Chains A and B, each alone.
Chain A
Amino acid sequence: MAKHVVAAVADIPPGTRRLTQVNGRAIVVFNLGGEFFALNNRCPHRGGSLFHGKQTGLVESDGPGNYRYSRPGEIIRCPWHGWEFDVRTGQSWCDPARVRARRYAVSVQPGTQLIPGPYVAETVAGHGRGRLRGGRGLTPFRQPLACPPSSLRPDVKARQMKKAERIIATSPGDR
């Protein structure tokens, strides 16, 4: 399956999510403290828009009367019927064996890998930061105006890599 550029890292700051479209499919991209995850926007229960749900944490209990709140921001609740899904895996909390929101792999890649140079001379300073799930840090970059990374450019689509399906948030790449 193809890779698709969906957003610039700076467009999805930590703790936020963004609704993107890839070949007609609505996909929500989440940034959990710098880690990116993507789920199909369609709730597997009745089709509600997960993007419009409440991003919350996990409530657990060791027994009646005891409550424990953990993993803040890592659970998305469908706005229609409140079903909870793990942002990291798409798994439903109540019915994990049978129900999950479809998950897509996400990676962060430097713009320079997506659009090799040489670039036009005019540049502006970029400001975003991001890292891969593995933790590789990236530095601020100088972004060519000719390559607005937040858009799904036709010339990028033309370079789609025929590998595992990925949603790519482009990151500022150094030259």
Chain B
Amino acid sequence: MAFAANEYQLEGWNRREPRLKASVVIPYENGEMSRAEIRKRAGDRRFAHVLFLSRTSELLGKRRYWPIFEAAVEAGFPIGVHVFGSSGRPMSNTGWPSFYIEEITEHSASLAASVTSLIVEGVFERYPELKIVLIEAAWIPSLGWRLDQNWKRMRDEVPHLRRAPSEYLREHFWVSTQPMEEAEEPDHVLDVMAWIGWDKILFASDYPHWDFDDPFVALPPSLSEERRNKIYSGNAKALYRLD
């Protein structure tokens, strides 16, 4: 299925519009099969990154997924993690939500657990070249603060971390903009973007979903031209080595 999905992306989209890059779809619950599919696509510039959905069977830092990280680093692919998926488990730790509004809001909090897992399991110590793109989940500053606070208290539990957790967060993670946060105080969104890093933010439209972001009005109007251009294209060109 994954192989077929990848072939379809090339045939159905990239062949007609080469500027559209594909994701390497993998059966991510099976590390060895995923590694084989990534190796097939290594060096193929029509693919941009390897794709996970956020609702994996186990937290993303667990070793069953390490062959995938290893293969992605070997092939020079970042890992994209898009929210949603089908783990069969509720995203909350206390059962299933009643409404879609809960589901769609919980994605980012739920993925925070997997981001934490990636950091504290030492994935970035083992694979220092690994780059992760978080797609539709951009809450990370407060996660960094909480992780650093607890790391100072429990460092000896994870001695393989050589730096504060927030440093891994800032170095190894990129985020996409959609759904662009809308704070009552516009500066608050800018503060969050500054913490994440102006070179780590990638514009995403989520087209053709119903809740997509319009590229002409989504970004905060006060952004400088330089930052706007980085978010629209420069950061993605650098990350995915486009041109």
Contacts and interface: CB of A to CB of B under 8 A. Distances in A.
Interface of A: 45, 56, 59-68, 81-84, 92-95
B125 A93 contact: no
A81 B152 contact: yes
B87 to A, nearest CB: 24
B interface, by DSSP: helix, strand, loop or mixed? helix
Contacts of B153: 81-83
Contacts of B184: none
Contacts of B159: 59-61, 67-68
Contact of B154 (A60, A68, A82, A95): A82
A83 B154 CA distance: 8
A94 B156 contact: no
A interface, by DSSP: helix, strand, loop or mixed? loop
Contacts of A83: 152-153
Given A81-B152, A81-B153, A94-B152, A64 B164 contact: no
Nearest to B66: A64
Contact of A63 (B152, B154, B160, B164): B160
21 contacts: A56-B156, A59-B156, A59-B159, A60-B159, A61-B122, A61-B160, A63-B160, A64-B121, A64-B126, A64-B160, A66-B160, A81-B153, A82-B152, A82-B153, A83-B152, A83-B153, A84-B155, A94-B151, A94-B152, A94-B155, A95-B152
Contacts of A66: 160
Interface string B136-173: 00000000000000011111100110001000000000
Contacts of A60: 159
Nearest to B164: A94
Contacts of B154: 82
Nearest to A77: B156
B126 A63 contact: yes
A50 B187 CA distance: 41
Return the 9 tightest CB-CB contacts between A and B, nearest first: A64-B122, A61-B159, A61-B160, A82-B153, A59-B156, A94-B152, A59-B159, A64-B160, A81-B153
B166 to A, nearest CB: 12
Nearest to A92: B152
A59 B151 CA distance: 13
B163 to A, nearest CB: 10
A63 B155 contact: no
B125 A64 contact: yes
A106 to B, nearest CB: 26
Interface string B93-125: 000000000000000000000000000011101
A83 B148 CA distance: 12
Given A59-B156, A93-B155, 7 more contacts: A56-B156, A59-B155, A63-B122, A64-B122, A65-B160, A83-B153, A94-B152
